[in-house]
Amino acid sequence: MKQIAILGSTGSIGTQTLDVVRQYPNEFSVYALSAHRSVDLLIQQALEFNPAVVCIADEHYYTRLRDALSDLPIKVMAGMDAIAQMVTMPDIDVVVAAMVGYAGLRPTMEAIRAKKTIALANKETLVVAGEIICRLAQHYKVPILPVDSEHSAIFQSLVGESRESIEKLLLTASGGPFRNLTYEQMLHVTAAQALQHPNWEMGAKITIDSASMMNKGFEVIEARWLFDIPVEKIQVLVHPQSVVHSAVQFVDGSVKAQLGTPDMRMPIQYALTYPERWQSEVPRLDLFATKQLTFEEPDMQRFPNLRLAYEAIDKGGNMPCILNAANEVVNLAFREGKCGFMQMSDVIAETMAKTTFVVEPTYEDYVQTDRLARQIAKERINN
């Protein structure tokens, strides 16, 4: 039985991971759960799955969590240091890294050092510090199994293939809710509109990132590190139907793709059962009902965040870290009505220009860069 730790268990990926565990209670056991501040749902999950340990990142909720679980033999912890400590516990086999944003970096690094298999859903970890993460994983011989549907599709398409045979990675994007709007129309869109994704059910932050195509930019950077592929060999295709989750083009002209319904339980389960495939409750893809599959080039004038992401990974160093920090600030500001949709890209670009560039950053450089870039982005918004 695999013992699983789920970081971000109350979020979209975390709750769907628990759906997979429910289907296979004799194969998976929940050893540890963590959440940011959704304490009530974390309590419900702990009561159902009876993990050995639970941790709430926001320490203000510690007493409430502890008291609710006081009758159970569950260790209750709080704070980011505690999450980083929790993932190193010896009985854990797999860490599902599903925390949102930069916060997922340090726990993932600690889990790698503790030689835990990583099921990676937190794309910001590789965006911010891809080189360090890959170096650590190689040193400790730790597999990183992608949970993102696009990267899982590429991963599945590459099974049995050599890296030398890859000509291009084809990363698909739905285009989000504003795919057909003009630039002028996008100047006036609201957060409520941006949160209405046409195909996927995701958390608020990633849904806004999807609408702005920053999410796809992050996935380009993530793919560069996951598959050790130069960024110029990664092409984004806007595919509104979200049936082809991504594909690989090979040197002989062949293209292998992974298709399926837009349901995250499929890539989550594959990461947990790899290299095997198990029965799943995911709805089956009906190809007869699929009238057409279309593909378009992304418009980087209307969606400049994708261009900024390519620029960041091309520049290298700490630039992707700057990109991510600025994006986290503007994403929240947009959701709070403090920043316009198209203004987000302007703030990110200015932050990338003003934050100190470091060619070969250490982990401490990333910490400093994240702090400084957030400060610059916030000042830009407030002015």
Q: Residue 130 domain-assigned?
A: yes
Q: Residue 377 domain-assigned?
A: no
Q: How far apart are CA 190 and CA 131, in angstroms?
A: 36
Q: Residue 309 domain-assigned?
A: no
All residue ranges of the chain with pLDDT < 70 are: 198-202
Q: Residue 35 domain-assigned?
A: yes
Q: Residue 134 domain-assigned?
A: yes
Q: Residue 32 domain-assigned?
A: yes
At 203-228, the pLDDT tens digits run: 788 899 999 999 999 999 999 999 99
At 274-331, the pLDDT tens digits run: 999 999 999 999 999 998 999 999 999 999 999 999 999 999 999 999 999 999 999 9
What pLDDT, on the 0 to 100 scale, is given for residue 5? 98
Q: Is 34 helix (H, G, I), strand (E, B) or coil?
A: strand
Q: Residue 158 domain-assigned?
A: no
Q: How many other C-beta atoms are found inside a 10 Å radius of the C-beta of residue 124? A: 27
At residue 330's C-alpha, the angle toward residues 296 and 326, to 5°, is 90
**Based on the structure, what is the number of domains in the chain?**
1
What pLDDT, on the 0 to 100 scale, is given for residue 215? 93
- The CATH number for 22's domain is 3.40.50.720
Q: Residue 16 domain-assigned?
A: yes
At 153-173, the pLDDT tens digits run: 999 999 999 999 999 999 999
Give pTM, 2 decimals: 0.93
Instruction: Return the bridge partners of 4, or none.
Output: 30, 94
Domain that holds residue 107: 2-146
